[in-house]
Chains A and B, each alone.
Chain A
Amino acid sequence: MMELLRVARGLRANGVIGINERNAEYTLAYNPRDRYPLVDDKLLTKQFADKAGVAVPPLYGVVEIQHQVLELAAMLSPHQDFVVKPCRGSQGDGIVVVTGRSRNQYEIADGTFMSEEEMAFHVSNILSGIFSLGGQPDKALIEYRVDFDLVFKDVTYRGVPDVRIIVFLGVPVMAMVRLPTRMSRGKANLHQGAVGAGVDMATGITTSAVWKGQLVDTHPDTGNPVAGVAIPNWARLLEIAARSYELTGLGYQGIDIVLDSVRGPLVLELNARPGLAIQLANRRGLGKQLDAVRADHKQLTGIQARVDYARARFGADA
């Protein structure tokens, strides 16, 4: 009992945020309900971001009704590789990354194969809402497969690594790189066993890492150290993150950016209830940064001012 109190006091002192606090003090307080559909519906996010000049993976097609599943093969035929994802999915569930074709089979990112029929069934499942929040009927998106920048290739096992940045009132406050592992089966989701690496906000260089809730130094599959990798275009990433506040109007959000070798940073999705494991990845709590932003955000006018503030105040040495 005393031990628990001591841990709680320690966490409080380090500004660690719990789920209850995130919900009560941030998502409920700063995220207006009517803005949620914008981020929960990935098609809407994509259209919106596109209009605002934020780069997103190009859309190849949308399957909205069961009948269209019959034309799926025709819709997919022009593309060698692509991604199928549920429009309202959460936690990366239901995403299938097709890396190529061999005869009439699709090659999947995790090394397995999928037949035409299995693909059609998967899309049907997406439409029926099995992956969507609350099980509502859904749409399936078919989009460009990111050809990811090789910067993370030594610390990634298959799949696409992405950068998650938490943005509070337009100020980027914390970031991590999510690295797929064998266990996460190519998914960049910490719940499913991906590695989360903390990022120095000032420099964009990875610092520390967490895997399955444990602090680690190396990638579990490749054995390479996770720290010390510099994210290219870091200033641009922070700018995209800061801009997302005006885009969605959500005070507290997570933005997932993926680095494409040709197209540069692309926004994959936005999240109105970003997870808290980012604190473990960075080995620090979010609370102090959030308090600082709450106190100072009125003085920060313009996107550049917010980015500069983040780099100056939230770096690893600050």
Chain B
Amino acid sequence: MSRLHLYALAGALALCGIALFAYKAFFLQLPLYPGQRSDVWRVETELRFTAKNGPAKLTVQLPAPTGRLQVIDQSFVSSGYGLTVAPGAAVNQQATFSIAAATGPQVLYSRVVISRVVSLDTVSREPQPEVQRPNLNPPAAVAAEEIVRSARERAADPETLAALIAQRLRNAPVGGEAEYLVGRSPSVARIVATTVDLLGLAGVPSRSVTGISLELERRNAEFVHWLEVFQDGMWRSVYVGETRPEVVQHYLPWWRGRSAFAAIEGGTDLSHHITVSRSQELSLQTAMQQQRATEKRLVEFSLFGLPLQTQFLFRSLVVIPLGIFLLVVLRNVVGFKTFGTFMPVLIALAFRETGIIWGAAFFAIIVAIGLAVRFYLERLKLLLVPRLAVGVMVVVLIICVLTVLFHRVGFTRGLSVGLFPIVILTMTIERMSVVWEENGPLEALQQAVGSLVVGVLTFLVMNIPQLEHLLFVFPELLLVVLAATLLLGRYSGYRLTELRRFRALSR
């Protein structure tokens, strides 16, 4: 009876999952594969401020790319706010959120989808812009003239002139003209602004550009600065802070000139947060050719409607059931012994951030040091709860010391060691030391290695992009995983390790 019940339940769940999946995959045509790393990015800006009990108006720059990149979609989440999008200074686009009365913390989102332009427009010419002559005080003007003069002697065209001036400002020798203008070790933004001034002095049209780099997916993108010089009817980019071509070709220009990124009236504590993600799912074709109907459905029927920050979280979340399913298989069908039921899955989650090799190394280092300390503590005869508390503190200290050490030697990967689950590590150390004392070091090491192997295996499965993609686009597949786990719950066959254990009885 209960067995039939179980099969019926598992069958129903699996059927639901597969039906929903089939509908979305074949009728709605949602993509089944992550596809090639398409040249589509989502850039999401989160703006927060505290309203002062009255009307509030927030003006923010919108990405206005030219050249290799273009905006193919733009949307805003701003409940209760009026929204206008208007051109600002230069070629900038600005959005203005306004509200008659607002109190307390406010959050607004804007999202743009950026894609690479298929063919670059090299024919059309832009009109010759005006040159802005800077207002410099007399000593600065002398220094500026000197820099411009010496750069002009070696420059072939406006572009090289800009590069030479920027280089001079960057490597400002102590006591020279350049240092007088920009100060010692100037920021890239300062160099860009000053170069634009000096080019104005030389009569060359130029403008500063602020943007972000799309190269890396990141949750908190920072602005980068460069400048554009007008030459032969086109604006050409001159990069001051970064010169590697593979990096600069992913620079997204956001706005030109010296305006601020965002300005608030009627509020305080304005802060922004920019998230960049490469959108694997929205390949250019589906977005453009189907008049973006697919994208609308994607947003309606999946986790894509969520803010990007939350999406990042869910990418990790949807693979956890998969890891746990694998853990059930490894424990109940294969017969692995691990410290703590779900410890390996948590370790595997940490591996997603640290990478597998270093993750395993960090795990081994922390557990080894922790064990050594634990054996020393054994002599103090502490009671259980204080002893565990001491264990947690020791693990935190070990992680602190390791992080500082890694930082000092410039090993940036090592900084992610802080993502390991501290309490789980402590429990692992505690249990391992008990097993060590009760059943000997061999058994303890076997179980530790077993836990690590299970952790690595779950990590490898949870990290398959195809699976992550499927579960993220079709979360209903989790119902199938659930059904499979329910069935495994009644698996009463031998474990693989038992075949070895009882081998002598098979004759």
Contacts and interface: CB of A to CB of B under 8 A. Distances in A.
Contacts of B502: 11, 16, 18, 276, 279-280
Nearest to A14: B505
Nearest to A12: B494
A18 B498 contact: yes
Contacts of B490: 24
B390 to A, nearest CB: 14
A37 interface: no
Scoring A4, A16, A23, A214 by chain B CB atoms within 10 A of each residue's CB, the highest score goes to A16
A7 B499 contact: yes
Contacts of B505: 10-11, 14, 16, 279-280, 283-285
A21 B492 contact: yes
Interface in A1-59: 4, 6-11, 14, 16, 18-21, 23-25
B494 A121 contact: no
B503 interface: yes
Contacts of B381: 121
Contact of A213 (B383, B493, B501): B501
A183 to B, nearest CB: 9
A10 B506 contact: yes
A128 B507 contact: no
A90 to B, nearest CB: 11
A215 interface: yes
A105 interface: no
Given A128-B383, A280-B505, A20 B491 contact: yes
Contact of B492 (A18, A121, A135, A215): A18
Scoring B434, B496, B507 by chain A CB atoms within 10 A of each residue's CB, the highest score goes to B507
A215 B494 contact: no
B383 A24 contact: no
A7 B506 contact: yes
Contact of A192 (B439, B491, B493): B439
Interface in B382-427: 383-385
Contacts of B504: 214-215, 280, 283
Nearest to B506: A10
B383 A20 contact: no
B206 interface: no
A253 interface: no
A4 B497 CA distance: 10
Nearest to B443: A191
Contacts of A279: 502, 505
B490 to A, nearest CB: 6
Report the interface size class on chain B: 20 to 34
A73 B381 CA distance: 19
B492 A130 contact: no
Nearest to A213: B501
A191 B435 CA distance: 12
B507 A10 contact: yes
A18 B384 contact: no
Given A10-B506, A213-B501, A18 B494 contact: yes
B494 A11 contact: yes
A124 interface: yes
A93 interface: yes
A208 B504 CA distance: 13
Scoring B434, B498, B503 by chain A CB atoms within 10 A of each residue's CB, the highest score goes to B498
A19 B336 CA distance: 13
Interface string A115-159: 000000100110011100001000000000000000000000000
A260 to B, nearest CB: 27
B48 interface: no
Given A14-B505, A283-B504, A283-B505, A8 B499 contact: yes
Scoring A24, A191, A215 by chain B CB atoms within 10 A of each residue's CB, the highest score goes to A24
A14 B503 CA distance: 11
Contacts of A276: 502
Contact of B503 (A7, A125, A284): A7
Contacts of B506: 6-11, 14, 16
Nearest to B434: A130
A125 B494 contact: no
Contact of B332 (A20, A129, A214): A20
B130 interface: no
Contact of B493 (A10, A20, A121, A280): A20
B438 interface: yes
Interface in B470-507: 490-496, 498-499, 501-507
Interface in B72-86: none
A25 B494 contact: no
Scoring B438, B495, B496 by chain A CB atoms within 10 A of each residue's CB, the highest score goes to B438
Interface in B95-116: none
Contact of A128 (B384, B494, B499, B503): B384
A16 B501 CA distance: 11
B507 A20 contact: no
Nearest to A135: B384
B336 to A, nearest CB: 13
Contact of B495 (A6, A18, A214, A283): A18
A230 B415 CA distance: 66
B384 A129 contact: yes
Contacts of B507: 10, 14
Nearest to A210: B504
Contacts of B383: 124-125, 128
A230 B384 CA distance: 44
Nearest to A214: B504
B438 A93 contact: yes
A165 B503 CA distance: 23
A20 B385 contact: no
A11 B492 contact: no
23 contacts: A4-B499, A7-B503, A8-B493, A10-B506, A11-B498, A11-B499, A14-B506, A16-B502, A18-B493, A18-B498, A20-B332, A20-B495, A21-B492, A23-B492, A125-B383, A128-B384, A128-B385, A130-B434, A191-B439, A192-B438, A192-B439, A213-B501, A279-B502
Leading 5 A-B pairs by shortest Cβ distance: A10-B506, A128-B384, A24-B492, A21-B492, A18-B494
Given A16-B505, A23-B492, A24-B491, 14 more contacts: A4-B499, A7-B506, A8-B493, A14-B506, A18-B492, A18-B495, A18-B502, A20-B491, A20-B494, A135-B384, A213-B501, A279-B502, A280-B502, A285-B505
Interface of B: 332, 335, 381, 383-385, 434, 438-439, 490-496, 498-499, 501-507
